[in-house]
Structure formats: C-alpha cells, structure tokens
C-alpha cells in the first residue's frame, strides 16, 4: 500500500499550527476533504480536520468515488480492519451489514480496492486527532445520480443520530476560483438539479464529484451549512465542512 511520506509528528505539528475556524461552530459531522495528503503542504488537510479534533467520534465513514464504474454500484470492502503506518483500525461490521440491508445497491465487495483509495489518508488524519474509533468505507461505482441520492438517503437514515464523522473525498481545485463560486452559488440557492447537471458535465474540474454531491445532499437533509476553506497561493485543493447554523444575535 502506498502511504504518504509523512510522520505522525509532522501531522501533529501541522495541526498545532492551524486554528479552528470558530469555537462557536457546533455539530460538525461532515467533512469535504482532498483525497490525499501533500507532504509539502499538509495544511490542506489539517486545516479542515483541526475543526473536529476537539470532538470524539465512534465511527469514521469514508465515502469516495471510484474512478470508473464497479459491477456493484455501492461497494463496501470486506476487510475486518485496515492498517496504516499509525496503527490498525477495526471495521464496524454491524454498520456495514446495516447499510447492505438498507438499500438494494449496497454490496460487500472488493472490486474497488486499490492503492489509490483515499480511505488510508483519512484514517491517518483521524488517528492523529483521536484514538479508539472504527471505520466504514464506501465506494461509489456508478455515475447515475439516482445512486448518489440512494446513498445520501441511506447515510441520512443510519447516521443522523449516531456519533459518526462522515468524510467525503473530493479534489476541488483552488486554481479555478470561478468554479468554486459556481459550486457555492448552486449550494446556497438550493439548486440541486443544477448542481447535479454541472457535476455530471465535462465543464467541471472537481474530481470525486459523486462523493461531493452525496455530501451536499446529506448536509441538506441535516440542515447544515457548508463552509469552504480559504484559497491562497499555497493551496492546490480546497475543502470544507458542514456545521449547524450559527444563531444570529438580535440587534
């Protein structure tokens, strides 16, 4: 397995150098993150994870888009555990089976397993933030928007009231600010059909669009606001998280 050439100490140092967006933000259960760590710029990821490091989650759910199509449209690896350079993390077999019971298109299947999976990156990040959690990995192996919606419904049903962190792996290029503004506009205007259309078009530059769209839908179902990390000259990709709306102070 190809792991990022970065140590636990380096990631901890990067986390310590970053600050959370606000201590007032509550109920952060959804992250939108780049698929892999850049050892030369770990802040792309640590600036996002910093916002949840004070929380403790029972389960990490990693949702990523398979590069192509899988015979089993929503595939969940059969592993009983996953191992990174930072240690072993057990799979939550009960939740995995519940997902397969929830909808017809979920299967325990290893067709999408590869060195390119973002799963290991996200495991390493949460291992730096906390101990003692389990994991469920889901790969989206079909381009049909109905599959994305089916997955979003299942995640809403199973994880709304569970102490789980949902991580949606997607590369949002910082080099295209107009695309970022377009995505923000479609999300803020609640234009679900327009967002589906754009993310399925050749115009988009987002990689992992199916995972991104699923995360947007889950955030909508949970009445969460989406915040994106600021773009600067050092970032290749941006990301963000979804949080409960901040109450406005009466004037």
Highest mean pLDDT among 55-59, 110-114, 179-183: 55-59
For the chain, the structural domain boundaries read: 29-243
Q: Which of 28-32, 79-83, 177-181, 232-236 has the lowest mean pLDDT?
A: 232-236
Please report the DSSP string for 121-137 in residue order: HHHHHHHHH-SS-EEEE
Give pLDDT tens digits for 182-236. Answer: 999 999 999 999 999 999 998 999 999 999 999 999 999 999 999 998 877 778 8
DSSP 140: E
Contact criterion met (CB below 8 Å) for 117 and 64: yes
- Compute the Cα dihedral for 129, 242, 61, 205 and give only its sign: negative
Residue 62 corresponds to which tokens in the numbers above?
């990693």
Using alpha carbons, select from 31, 23, 3, 34 the residue that is nearest to residue 206. Answer: 34
Using alpha carbons, select from 145, 133, 186, 155 the residue that is nearest to residue 30. Answer: 155
Q: What length does the chain have?
A: 251
Using alpha carbons, select from 4, 9, 11 the residue that is nearest to residue 36. Answer: 4
The answer, yes or no, to whether residue 104 has pLDDT greater than 80, is no
More confident residue, 231 or 83: 83
> At 241, which helix (H) or strand (E)?
strand 240-243
pLDDT value at position 67?
A: 85
pLDDT value at position 74?
A: 93
The class that CATH gives domain 29-243 is alpha beta
pTM: 0.94
More confident residue, 189 or 25: 189
pLDDT value at position 235?
A: 81
3-state class percentages of the chain: helix first, strand second, coil last, to nearest 5:
35, 20, 45
pLDDT value at position 247?
A: 63
DSSP 174: T
């Amino acid at each position: 397995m190809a792991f990022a050439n970065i140590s636990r100490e380096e990631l901890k140092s990067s986390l310590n150098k970053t600050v959370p967006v606000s201590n007032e933000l509550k109920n952060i259960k959804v992250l939108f993150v780049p698929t892999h760590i850049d050892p030369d710029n770990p802040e792309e990821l640590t600036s996002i994870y910093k916002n949840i490091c004070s929380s403790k989650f029972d389960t990490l759910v990693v949702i990523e888009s398979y590069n192509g199509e899988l015979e089993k449209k929503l595939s969940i690896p059969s592993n009983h555990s996953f191992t990174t350079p930072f240690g072993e993390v057990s799979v939550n077999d009960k939740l995995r089976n519940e997902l397969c019971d929830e909808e017809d298109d979920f299967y325990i299947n290893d067709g999408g397993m590869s060195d390119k999976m973002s799963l290991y990156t996200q495991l390493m990040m949460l291992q730096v933030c906390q101990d003692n959690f389990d994991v469920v990995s889901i790969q989206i192996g079909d381009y049909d928007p109905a599959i994305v919606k089916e997955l979003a419904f299942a995640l809403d049903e199973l994880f709304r009231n569970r102490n789980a962190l949902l991580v949606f792996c997607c590369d949002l290029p910082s080099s295209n600010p107009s695309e970022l503004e377009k995505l923000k506009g479609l999300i803020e205007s609640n234009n679900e059909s327009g967002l589906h259309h754009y993310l399925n078009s050749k115009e988009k530059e987002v990689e992992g669009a199916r995972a991104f769209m699923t995360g947007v839908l889950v955030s909508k179902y949970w009445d969460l606001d989406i915040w994106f990390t600021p773009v600067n000259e050092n970032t290749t990709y941006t990301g963000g998280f979804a949080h409960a709306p901040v109450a406005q102070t009466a004037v």
